Structure 1
Amino acid sequence: MSRTTDLLATMAAVRPDRLDPPTDPGRLERVRARAMSEPEPDRAPARVLGRRVRYGGAIVAAAALVAGLIVMARPSGPDTGPPSARRALLVAATTLQEADTATGRYWTADLSSVTTATYLGGTAAGPPPGTAKPLYRYTSTCDARLWAARSGRDPSWLVVDAVTDRRLSGADERAWRRAGAPRPDSCEIHGMSVGLRSAPPAALALRRSMRTTSQDEPTYPTAASVPITPDQIAALPTDPTALKATLDGFWLNATTPSAKPKAGRTVPLDVTFQQITDLLVGAPAPPAVQAALYRVLARLPIDRSRGTVTDRLGRHGVAFWTATGAMETRLIIDLRTGHPLAVESRLAGELDGYTLIRRQGWTDTGPTLPAHRL
């Protein structure tokens, strides 16, 4: 099979037989033409970013960040394997941009996040010291809905529907009971740690641009922990080169001390990967901007799964990731629609946490809010 072989035929070879191919031949031609006409991406050096730890009330939610990136060698012989990460992402970008043109008053997303957490006891005086011994470990699941208003005249909301926890072992279960069987007092939803002053279901009004360090009032949305307003997201360029430069500027302006010049500083590739996943999963990015995010991602030295993978809901997609050592973060995309399905974090090969995107879309109907407020 030569490298000029029909891209969609190559993709079809690695898809499960039960998935029907698209039925619009003209659309397939447009996808092929756009995907194959993209310029070759520049390769960038690998960088490493360590693991972050968040504190929410009395728990420490372990949030694995993307670390260094592996440059995959391009085959010099016949292209007999599955499509490259770059080509698959370009197809997803074109599919999403052509199929999804809806707009509305609110951008909504139904999300479920699962994190592995450690309970360290009371933390009234602040985060515990690094020498504190964990009392028990557990997994915490938070189901929530985002309602991001397009206009600044409308409030944005995070509605927490449910929070549950499960101890990891019999010893953890016994330690949990000795500690008084405390219930979860925070919700970790794709990087946002929300303190629970009320039992779910409960709603939290999201600030559009105010920077805050309070776990009870997280700034939303963010890109790689840097606040970014919905107005800034709507204005993001759709040219991949310009979009990458804009994302770089957000991070450099937020992380460079004012006394030090930004000239010569570069953004680690793992930061760019996190910016892209944050904007794809939990931010009101228009379809054209989402497609441009895929095209930026296609220029990074990333890897992809050989064929389809299955997320925790049993949905089939293709996984893309960057990895270093024992840490790995995967973005799973449905190439039929271009929409993201999940983001998974793995530690030493074991699934450490994940966010499931159950639904995304625009609507003119406002949220029905529960009586309790966070």
Structure 2
Amino acid sequence: MSRKTDLLATMAAVRPDRLDPPADPGRLERIRARAMSKPEPEPGRVTARAPRRRIRYGGAIVAAAALVAGLIVVARPTGQDTDPPSARRTLLAAATTLQEGDTAAGRYWTADLSTYTTASYVGDTAAGPPPPTAKPLYRFSSTCRARLWAARSGRDTSWLVVDAVTDRRLSGADEHAWLRAGAPRPRTCEIHGMSVGLRAAPPAALALQRTMRTTRREEPTYPSAAGVPITLDQIAALPTDPTALKTALDELWLDSTASATEPKADRTPPPDVTFQQITDLLVGAPAPPAVQAALYRVLAGLPIDRSHGTVTDRLGRHGVAFWTATGATDTRLIIDPRTGRPLAVESRLAGELDGYTLVLRQGWTDTVPTLPAHRL
């Protein structure tokens, strides 16, 4: 038998069992013996060259076996997914994509937002917040459409334009209680937990402060980071170095929760607070791409989980979800890894969808906003 014929026989011998017609229990041992045996020298050949030919021959057997093994791997059931990349690696890649893809410039950083939340009405709160034990009069869902216009220059005014707010009671009993309470109109627009007070019916515009921090309780708290008001100048001054940015976010939270009995140096914001700060700045606040990329890099350093494969937001757009342990409230950030853009943030309470904010569009523009007559 020639070596060519012997090699073909060996290749046939390492085929998957499902391709061999009869069962052959001794096949594996014969393959091993054939691979380890010395080939017979051909007539007229110098035997001193045999070691080199053995090396080639063994390599050919290994290559043939690897090829067949490769075919076996390809033939795996298609339903078995490989493990997705780690959360850290995905976030770092999204940060690079976002930063490298931002070549545009404009007069305003803009975003179109759509929000949904569920809430409870506990009566007129003009006299102050209700006690924690107050029983809700009725429950309702609220949707808000808003547009952000954050001016690059301090010489221009920045705006949040609330186009529409719609409240719907969750049940017939809630509807009756709403009517008994006087059918009050919507009073706020909630953008991922950032409450914008409606002193005028939408459409209405809110001028955003560049330097003044909101202090009065009845004033809008937009924009904010984890419930702490933040001004446009503070956002613009956020560093793009991840370590420095994490320190700035920590300081923002620590300053707002300062306590005389607990020194600031002895306190560290828990990961869920930093996660909330990042999602607020990414999704609902006027953070431009360079800051967004840095926020992703800070997020990559937290104990973060990511979805196995892709998920879809409420508009059916595909992305990757990230979250961290936050107790009963599960908040998930969804981004598009192809562009690095944030798509949405969703909140669930005890497993039930409690609210979300969708980013319909983000980007720079030179177009000046058309403002409604009413002001907030």
Preserved CA contact (<8 Å) 1:138 1:165: yes
- Distance, in Å, in 2 between the alignment partners of 1:150 and 1:199 is 28
Find the partner of 1:337 among 336, 339, 347.
339
Distance 1:189 1:157 in 2: 14
Give 1:72's aligned residue: none
Deviations 1:293-343 (A, max 9, x none): 111111111111111111111111111011244321000001111000111
Secondary structure of residue in 2 paired with 1:244: helix
Which residue is 1:40 aligned to? none
Structure 2, unaligned stretches of length 5 or more?
1-80
Note the C-alpha offset of 1:142: 0.9
> Which residue among 277, 283, 289 is the counterpart of 1:275?
277
CA separation in 2, counterparts of 1:107 and 1:115? 25
Indicate the structure whose relative CO is greater, using CA pairs within 8 Å and at least 6 residues apart.
Answer: 1
Q: What is aligned with 1:222?
A: 224
Aligned residue among 348, 368, 373 for 1:366: 368
Cα 1:314–1:188 shift into 2, 3 Å: same
Change in CA separation of 1:125 and 1:332 when aligned onto 2, cut-off 3 Å: same
RMSD: 2.0
CA positional deviation for 1:212 = 2.4
Match of 2:288 in 1: 286
Query: Does structure 2 retain, via aligned residues, the 8 Å contact 1:101–1:287?
Result: no
| Identical amino acids, percent of aligned pairs | 83
Alignment of 1:95-174 (within 5 A): 95-174=97-176
2 CA distance for matches of 1:105 and 1:196?
A: 27
Larger Rg: 2
Query: Does the 8 Å contact 1:206/1:219 carry over to 2?
Result: no
Once the 2 structures are TM-superposed, how far is the Cα of residue 132 of structure 1 from its aligned partner? 2.2
Within the alignment, does 1:311 sit opposite 2:313 as a pair? yes
The 1:371/1:216 distance shift into structure 2, 3 A limit, reads: farther
Residue 263 of structure 1 aligns to a residue in which SS? helix
Which whole-Å deviations, capped at 9, do the CAs of 1:75-134 have from their partners, x for residues lacking one? Answer: xxxx94111111111111111111123222211111111111111122332222223221
Question: TM-score, normalised on structure 1?
Answer: 0.74
C-alpha displacement of 1:227: 3.1
Q: Given the superposition, is the C-alpha separation of residues 317 and 210 from structure 1 closer, same or farther in structure 2, using an over 3 Å criterion?
A: same
Q: TM-score, normalised by structure 2?
A: 0.74
1 CA distance for matches of 2:221 and 2:366?
Answer: 24
Tell me, yes or no, if the aligned pair for 2:332 and 2:345 is still in contact at 8 Å: yes
Does the 8 Å contact 2:194/2:227 carry over to 1? no
CA separation in 2, counterparts of 1:325 and 1:267?
15
Counterpart residue number, 2:85:
83
Change (3 A) 1:219 1:210: farther
Query: Structure 1: which amino acid aligns with 2:251?
Result: G
Shift of 1:240: 1.5
SS in 2 for 1:323: coil
Segments of structure 1 that go 5 or more residues without pairing to the other structure are 1-78
1:301, 1:165 → 2: CA distance?
36
Structure 1: how far apart are the matches of 2:303 and 2:164?
37
1:128-155 Cα shifts (integer Å, max 9, x gaps): 2223221110101111111112222221
Match of 1:251 in 2: 253
Three-state SS of the structure 2 residue aligned to 1:270 is helix
Residue 144 and residue 309 in structure 1: after superposition, are their counterparts in 2 closer, same or farther (change >3 A)? Answer: same
| Aligned equivalent of 1:232, options 231, 234, 242 | 234
Identify if the C-alpha distance between structure 1 residues 130 and 237 changes in structure 2 by more than 3 Å, giving closer, same or farther: closer
Matches of 2:116 and 2:374 in 1, distance apart?
23
Structure 1 residue 204 and structure 2 residue 209: aligned? no
Q: What displacement does 1:258 show? A: 6.2
- Aligned to 1:241, what secondary structure does the other structure show? helix
For residues 207-234 of structure 1, the C-alpha deviation after alignment (integer angstroms, 9 at most, x for no partner) is: 2232224465325432222333333323
Within 1, Cα distance between the matches of 2:231 and 2:188?
A: 24
**1:228, 1:122 → 2: CA distance?**
28
The answer to which structure has the higher helix fraction is 2
Shift in CA distance, 324/250, structure 1 to aligned 2, threshold 3 Å: closer
Q: Secondary structure at the residue paired with 1:152?
A: coil
Following TM superposition, where does structure 1 have runs of at least 4 consecutive aligned residues deviating by more than 6 angstroms? none
Q: Tell me the residue number matched to 1:323.
A: 325
Contact 1:211 1:219 in 2 (8 A): no
**AA aligned opposite 2:117:** T
Q: Distance between the aligned counterparts of 1:351 and 1:329, measured in 2? A: 10
Is contact 2:109–2:288 with CA below 8 Å preserved after alignment?
no
Q: 1:197 to 1:130 in 2, by over 3 A?
A: same
Residues of 2 paired with 1:341 and 1:119: CA distance? 30
SS at structure 2 position matched to 1:126:
coil
